[in-house]
Homo-oligomer: A and B are copies of this chain.
């Protein structure tokens, strides 16, 4: 059951972005690069990101010799190539010749040439140029033994308000509403504020200087933009499939990116990858907090392509140059954070970047090789040591996290919550709330996935659906079935308010049948000011703090587990539970502090019969399995040694030492225990 990403390579991929095109006049440096890569245990290089003008300096003039020469040299030295399509940035000549390829901003004003990923998502002229360069590139490298993966464009994102995109949007809407403008009017409730349309031609994108008050329109625009980017990815993927049918493809995601539905995008990719740049050592959060956020991001990304490893496509060997404070990673953190990625399901550790360029925007972004140019640096030594560690982790390759619980996360729901007018913009914090549920389960030692509400949930003991404001058709039924079949299902405040067009359900929230499933409805939603507090008192007398949101619940048929402590709704229910078939449905009507949610989840897990091993503060445990072999990862994000008890029994792949009962992790320490077969 191993899902090997790169069967031809028997190692964890260790490499990163490499830009020999910036150093073609320095063959000495290109030689030295290969020597140093080997010294650092590098086995892969990502080439050609942003190399369009190097490939095609003038329209129709192509140069691939330098690329092939680099790929050859790397391959001869045991280093494979991940190759990007160069569409992440356009050459100046392209914008000069095809101004329509430039995006328009939210006022509909055409942007000028510059920066990087900024081509119009719709433009046919741009696609023609992209097709030319991608075809030429693929033909040039096709069959090269070093080529293992296509890297589609780079960090796709953004939106475009040009006339072509506006037309494309209207076509999208025609399709969505069966070419019936009255269906759109109904779905968007346009009789409000006289917003009724009499034709699709009247519909405009939500320009900053235009229509921003139709919630359904705003939602549709976000969905359209994500869909349209998906169309673009399909276009590149299809081209590559035709030319190099055996080479898989990915594109590099960006954390929990706000405006692209990665669940949809991942469907056209063979594997998913992402660029991870945590803000370590800040003065606003602790190391364990930063690490927990990163673990959550890993879970989100792997959840976009469940059942197989993902790639850590970019990370920094030392620091970045675009945070508000660009602090050095302390010694040991490169190793810790890289092994955390592996623990969470990655089979690669890749950097941006191999060597610092001399100029322009990222000249001070961290790299394996500094402007100093030698291997006599802390960073180089840490990278080389990590390379040696990674070699020991080959047995882990192809295994996947063994999750007992899942937290639901959905982009469309996010857009609906962010776009709704109500509550408090500053405290809605949907993503943070999802993350906090992941973290609470993580602190209980439960490996947890973060997946789409449409995912197969049948394997999970526990499913948490935080703030599931929007219920697209079929979702309520999907969740009901999960519970009826024996699952433990947890809802929170703000569940089931609107449908796929953001129309409110009538007859009580949560709608679409969940009122019956939960045995209650929410009469009012109270938004608290930041200084306001309430509390939840449980049957055992324990009280947990509440902030931000309180639903006033009318319980019709459910067990009340906790009630409010204060305000005019004191003594009314806040946490409930109801049997549902073979499972149960829980409802948490307010934003409970972390310890409170842990208490709720502990009860849920006990009911589900799931083992939980509360972790020492600042540590993480992860479990990967390939069906035959299980690997337990233990990480210490604190600066003090810590003992994990109980620990899995087996052999620590990093040290070769036997582990039994417990294990001591030094500051920033990691253990990877290959468990003994049972």
Contacts and interface: CB of A to CB of B under 8 A. Distances in A.
Interface string A302-338: 0000000000000000110110111110110000000
Interface of A: 19, 21-22, 50-54, 57-58, 86, 88-93, 96, 105, 107-109, 111-116, 187-198, 201-202, 204, 206-207, 209-216, 281-284, 318-319, 321-322, 324-328, 330-331, 356-365, 370-373, 377-379, 420-427, 501-509, 521, 523-532, 552, 567-568
B209 A105 contact: yes
Given A114-B207, A321-B421, A326-B527, 11 more contacts: A21-B191, A22-B191, A50-B194, A54-B194, A57-B198, A88-B193, A189-B357, A189-B359, A284-B529, A327-B529, A363-B420
28 contacts: A19-B191, A22-B192, A53-B195, A57-B198, A91-B194, A92-B195, A108-B112, A111-B209, A112-B210, A112-B211, A114-B204, A115-B211, A116-B194, A116-B213, A189-B358, A192-B357, A192-B359, A192-B362, A284-B529, A326-B423, A327-B532, A358-B504, A359-B502, A363-B422, A364-B421, A371-B506, A371-B509, A372-B523
Contacts of A529: 281-284, 325, 327
Please tell me how many copies of the chain the complex holds: 3
Most chain B CB neighbours (cut-off 10 Å) among A116, A318, A426: A116
A429 to B, nearest CB: 14
Contact of A371 (B197, B360, B363, B508): B508
Please report whether the interface of chain A is mostly helix, strand, loop or mixed according to DSSP: loop
Contacts of A379: 524
B424 A212 contact: no
B426 A194 contact: no
Contacts of A378: 523-524, 552
A105 B330 CA distance: 44
A53 B363 contact: no
Nearest to A117: B193
Most chain B CB neighbours (cut-off 10 Å) among A21, A51, A198: A198
Most chain B CB neighbours (cut-off 10 Å) among A53, A90, A521: A53
A507 B96 CA distance: 38
Contacts of A209: 105, 109, 111-112
A528 B532 CA distance: 34
Contacts of A86: 194
Contact of A503 (B358, B365, B504): B358
A310 B104 CA distance: 49
A86 B93 CA distance: 44
A362 B213 CA distance: 9
A207 to B, nearest CB: 5
A137 to B, nearest CB: 13
Contacts of A54: 191, 194, 196
B359 A204 contact: no
Contacts of A424: 324-326
Contacts of A360: 188-190, 192-193, 195, 213-216
A465 B209 CA distance: 41
Contact of A373 (B52, B507, B530): B507
Contacts of A109: 107, 209
Contacts of A191: 19, 21-22, 53-54
Contact of A192 (B50, B197, B319, B504): B50
